Structure 1
């Protein structure tokens, strides 16, 4: 199967033709020079800006009510309060379900996201049902959005006997990561929670992705525990801290030391750049090669009424939170949402280069910074060499 997207500007550079063969970029050549294979589909890119498909490094696609009637925000506005509210109300809204998950995946796709790492609730109430629904929804879209699953213990691990067994079953059944949640703040036993998670990860050959909301010294202490266990288990490159608000709150000296520890252990960081949190030491992370990915978190769910699935808008929020102004920094924010996030979905490369997956997004923008600050509609979305959305309409 061949697709030729002609006359586009990859990352705002000179006009080019992009050729995708059997789902993989096979050529990027000056516009008008691509050899068009017999039977190829040819799409005129009209000189539009081309970016790689967006990579959502932190989502919760199993519990959105996108496309359903409005649900008013309720419950107590703390992590524990949101957990309790969700557990009390989720059955009323039929969450998780294949239909609700398909709806939010289609919204991600409409905005140009072609791959996501999603945390799927695994607990004593839903068991592994949410993972089954997410996989069915991805299949319904024909794989247009590649989905990596984190088995996520939203209600805690140690405090809920039986959850570790469910996480182990999820890992055995193909989840790419086992998740954790505030080992100190929720379970109040960080050593036992982390030891349990890392034992599963090491034995099953999967990664670990820990939600960490705890702030200040308590949060930093748990990051240090995660570093120790990552080294001990030999999981370099397979561990992620999600949110990790504490990192931006530390004194400069301790922050620098912790960044060195993260680099040496090969630990990545996923953020949704929420308003009101301390900026991450982004440049220090970039200089050390610490992977940083952007995510939407929940989208219109029982935790928050906000979110629309547009990762470019998340990148804009990241840029504003971190005070980015120069073209280089603004482009860097977009790279966090695309090419730099390859490892979060198990890819060695994700870019508009030969050998990369044939995922690309076209936007009417002068350059990458212009696209970031205006967040224009996606004119075309291609996933693995297949046109899957055009002018805001999903075609699968």
Structure 2
């Protein structure tokens, strides 16, 4: 196999090293300046090196990235957004492999080499969105790894047949099934959660559920999920997305919930939306809870915002949580990279020997500098392949 060496780079801002890649794997890391006979050597110019970013919460199936501008419309509520999307998506070619591939390429350009994405499953499109995302991933020949969540955007119980679609998706190999606001959308939290956990137990897949409710209603939903996770034995297989209530609860109530989340391996993903309550992320980290960052939907019928750059989400997270010290920024950078490993079922995701060769070089002094400025990616290596240079794709 071709040996490639990315020389003179500073992992996490440390001393310069040379990173040797064989195939898709980091094979060796040595102090900078060693000879590397018969290897392709690429000068890293002492740039900051980070592991590839992991986008732990995306919706790549329904973006209009690269298409003519689409104006925001519809009623500005969850129900209104769902209805508007159902009315408009077909005219904008949603879902389609080509549109999804454009989103994944933009992720790669910004250094994201793996993503967990929710993909709409409903009575109108069936499992077509899943097929489109799988085709888009295949076109990129392993450059970006995609893990799927079959997502019932239009509700689970209120539409007869949606549970059957989720069951089919799980039977056909989708890694996770999703849920959505069991109180507000289906207005029957017991039926929704019982149905989801029954499918997950049957197929051994994970559950990744959107929860937007605040305050005690949100806490009630958490308690139902805790109870079902404990009874089902799905430890380490349940993730809460958004979970805004967690940042709104009194400290004692929150601590009680965090202890149970940690015990059951219930993880969390956030897109750090402006105006939301900060998460108790320090306590989450100290308790061993998984926490990942994601872009959510970008340039879709829900929002005209977003560019696929996870560093910008990291900056939003840092601002929301009042990060000031270099150590805080380092932890945020880890959420964007190594902390996302569990959402892709990776044992290791870091700049270490034996890991998949996902490497991002930035002209930055350290992680804090990279997050605050979000400079162009000087080099992006994905599974051992150079996929972007100086902010532009080369694949």
Please classify the TM superposition score into its range, dividing by the shorter chain length: over 0.9
Structure 2 match to 1:163: 162
**Native 8 Å contact 1:316 1:373 kept in 2:** yes
Structure 1 match to 2:277: 278
Structure 2 match to 1:263: 262
Structure 2 match to 1:327: 326
Q: Deviations 1:284-305 (Å, cap 9, x if unpaired)?
A: 1011010000000001000000
**Native 8 Å contact 1:19 1:34 kept in 2:** no
1:346 is displaced (CA, Å) by 1.0
User: Residue 214 of structure 1: SS of its match in structure 2?
Assistant: coil
**Native 8 Å contact 2:388 2:394 kept in 1:** yes
TM-score by length of 2: 0.98
Counterparts of 2:211 and 2:116 in 1: how far apart (Å)? Answer: 17
Report matched runs for 1:286-297 at 5 Å.
286-297=285-296
Q: Deviations 1:125-147 (Å, cap 9, x if unpaired)?
A: 01000000001001111121100
Counterparts of 2:250 and 2:370 in 1: how far apart (Å)? Answer: 34
Q: Which runs of 5+ in 1 are unaligned?
A: none
Report matched runs for 1:54-73 at 5 Å.
54-73=53-72
Counterparts of 1:292 and 1:241 in 2: how far apart (Å)? Answer: 10
1:338 is displaced (CA, Å) by 0.2
Counterparts of 2:14 and 2:75 in 1: how far apart (Å)? Answer: 49
1:25 is displaced (CA, Å) by 1.3
Structure 2 match to 1:85: 84
Structure 1 match to 2:174: 175
Structure 2 match to 1:135: 134
**Native 8 Å contact 1:17 1:34 kept in 2:** no
1:361 aligns with 2:329: no
Report matched runs for 1:315-394 at 5 Å.
315-394=314-393
1:34 is displaced (CA, Å) by 5.9
Q: Deviations 1:331-385 (Å, cap 9, x if unpaired)?
A: 1101100011100111011000112111000000011111110110001000111
Counterparts of 1:246 and 1:169 in 2: how far apart (Å)? Answer: 32
Aligned CA RMSD, in angstroms, stands at 0.9
**Native 8 Å contact 2:113 2:144 kept in 1:** yes
User: Residue 147 of structure 1: SS of its match in structure 2?
Assistant: strand
Counterparts of 2:44 and 2:235 in 1: how far apart (Å)? Answer: 40
Q: Which runs of 5+ in 2 are unaligned?
A: none
Report matched runs for 1:138-217 at 5 Å.
138-217=137-216
Number of matched pairs: 394
Counterparts of 1:168 and 1:263 in 2: how far apart (Å)? Answer: 28
1:76 is displaced (CA, Å) by 1.1
Question: Structure 2 vs 1, CA of residues 165 and 300 (structure 1 numbering), >3 Å: closer, same or farther?
Answer: same
Report matched runs for 1:295-314 at 5 Å.
295-314=294-313
In the TM superposition, structure 1's runs of 4+ consecutive aligned residues that sit over 3 Å from their partners are none
